[in-house]
Amino acid sequence: MVDETKPFEPLDRGRVDLTDPNEIEYWCREFDCTEPELRAAIDKVGWHTSAVREELCK
């Protein structure tokens, strides 16, 4: 049974998984960006969260 009161956390906090809508929503909130901005950053620098964060902070 899934605990709906616990906030979503990605299984691997070191990478962004664009195949999971919950992860997309989580990382957009985490990075304060839109989904297209997140996807563009990942297309440019890859899926490692540190690289994506750096790219979005530019």
- pLDDT tens for each residue of 6-52: 688 888 889 999 999 999 999 999 999 999 999 999 999 999 999 99
Domain assignment of residue 46, yes or no: yes
Number of domains in the chain: 1
Complete DSSP assignment for 23-41: HHHHHHHHHT--HHHHHHH
By the 8 A CB rule, do 15 and 47 touch?
yes
Domain assignment of residue 38, yes or no: yes
Residue 34 three-state SS = coil
Domain carrying residue 32: 21-56
pLDDT bin (cut points 50, 70, 90) of residue 3 is low
